[in-house]
A and B are shown apart, each in its own frame.
Chain A
Amino acid sequence: MTDASLNNDALEKLTGIFRILFNAPDLELNDDLTAKDVPGWDSFNHVNLIINIEEEFGVRFSNDEVGKLQNVGNLKSLLAGKLTA
């Protein structure tokens, strides 16, 4: 994990992915948001979420990173680290 943070543009894109995937137009991405808080965020859609992010941002996550994600805050800082690397 890294301390880097996402810029507004990237955050907007990420929020868009969540809203479309989980069909939740009002969903706001706060750092403490977890799979339990979003209906439909199960292990199947977790993989879909990761693939969508990989395709949108042109990054690649390892199996280990995918398995370790605990909440949206983890995902944002992991993504930010990959975008700034």
Chain B
Amino acid sequence: MTFINPTFWIVAVVVYILLSIETSHKASLRFGFINLFALNLLLGWQIALGALLGVTLFWGMVSLGLQYGAQKNQNKSLVGFSILAGVTVVFIFHKLNLQHSPWIETLQALAPWMRSDFFLTFLAGLSFSYIFVRCADALHCVFWKNCPLMGPLSLFGYLLPFHMLLSGPVNAYEEHLEMDRDAEPESVPSLDRVLLILNAITTGLLYKFVVAESLRTYFYGANGEMTVSNWGDSAILALYVFFDFAGYSRVARGLGLLYRVPTPENFSAPFLSVSVTDFWTRWHMSMGQFVRRNLFTPIQLNLVRAVGIKNAGWVSLVTMVVSFGFVGLWHRISWTWILWGVAMGLLMALEKHVQTFAMRKGWNRSPWIGHALPWLGPVYTNTVLIISVRFVAEEIF
């Protein structure tokens, strides 16, 4: 399912037409139902039905867990963590990429009933990594923030939105709930809205199919593989990944605006970042927001409360390493990505210490630093980016 496939665009238009039909049903339910229809056309009825069964199973567990948690309130968190643990096991199973390793035969011999070959291909076909973070966001919201649980079909639309299935962005459960609270949509979109939608979709297609593909073809040939053997290759790969990923994200954003389905922005001029910390608020922003919402803020807040604000700087070292260790593992379960995540976390904790020191000295009010930072900051950040891309290059695709 790629944006170059004409079927995708036919389905995208049909979805818009179907969503435009006025009914008395909630917006999230309508999108969930039409999304099921879209996935059926794009991925086949077996995968669409399998995904619906999986979501219904997840919904059933959450629903039962909420009932049990309501009876014994002290166990609510435990139930939430247990369901999250179950989803995490499936995620790890998916991330180990066993279908491409000799382990698959061993696994099939050990548990022939599991049909691992089918199950792993099924998860890979659905880009389960994104579904996993959406499941985690939904569980956090429902079990710890008392958000209402959507019905199974609405939840299906949240967890597997066809326009965000391939490469995100990571939409927030709470924002998806807001769909049902919005005022009646205008029957004809305003000119501003149409321009925003067209801008997002056309720039997305330009990024992906013109800029990213031109970069790849120019440097590596029409059928050439992107290999990294020097620092220049690393810089080209960073640019390619940006235009490819940001392209997909822009198209998804445009379709989200068209359907009025919350679809967050994912990139904001990341190469102009003045620090690595700044970079991660501009690159794959929706994932950064997910990590802040579900990992960084709760962990940092509770740890600082426990050890006192004087130790906040040291606590941030732990929180940053845990948060970015997760981001590394989310990309791939390998030592390379774990080390990448830990290094990113440590670097950002170090930046925080430098920033705190500079603020204490009053350097943040120095006009010289104010002028130099927008120029020197991106040089430093992009150098770190190129080094980090070279480090993980073998495991990016």
B364 interface residue (CB < 8 Å to A): yes
B148 nearest CB across to chain A (Å): 14
With A23-B359, A23-B365 as given contacts, are A44 and B300 in contact (CB-CB < 8 Å)?
Answer: yes
Chain A residues numbered 15-51 whose CB sits less than 8 Å from any CB in chain B: 22-24, 39-40, 42-44, 46-48, 50-51
- Is there a chain A Cβ closer than 8 Å to B277's Cβ? yes
Residue of A nearest to B298 (CB): A63
Binds A, one of B231-239, B289-297, B327-335: B289-297
Contact of A50 with B301 in the complex, beta carbons under 8 Å: yes
User: B359 touching A22 by the CB < 8 A rule?
Assistant: yes
Complex Cα spacing A55 to B312, Å: 14
Interface size on B, residues (CB 8 A): 24
Residues A55 and B301 in contact, CB atoms below 8 Å apart: no
**Residues of the B chain whose Cβ atoms lie less than 8 Å from the Cβ of A55:** 309
Total chain A interface residues with beta-carbon distance under 8 A: 20
Residues of A within 8 A of B297 (CB): 43, 46-47, 63, 66-67
B360 within 8 A of A: yes
Q: A23-B364, A50-B301, A52-B309 are in contact. Are A40 and B355 (CB under 8 A)?
A: yes
Is B304 positioned at the interface, with any CB of A under 8 Å from its CB? yes
In the assembled complex, how far is the CB of residue B110 from the closest CB belonging to chain A, in whole angstroms?
41
Residues of A within 8 A of B301 (CB): 47, 50-51, 63, 66
Docked Cα-Cα span, A48 to B359, in Å, equals 14
CA distance A48 to B311 in the complex (A): 10
Which B residues from 282 to 338 make CB contacts under 8 A with A? Answer: 292-293, 296-298, 300-301, 304-305, 309, 312, 316
A63-B144, A63-B301, A67-B293 given; name 20 further pairs at CB < 8 Å: A23-B359, A23-B364, A24-B365, A39-B364, A42-B277, A43-B296, A43-B297, A43-B300, A44-B352, A47-B300, A47-B301, A47-B304, A50-B301, A51-B301, A51-B305, A51-B309, A52-B309, A54-B305, A64-B146, A66-B297
9 closest residue pairs by CB, A with B: A23-B359, A64-B145, A47-B300, A51-B309, A63-B298, A43-B292, A47-B301, A51-B304, A39-B364
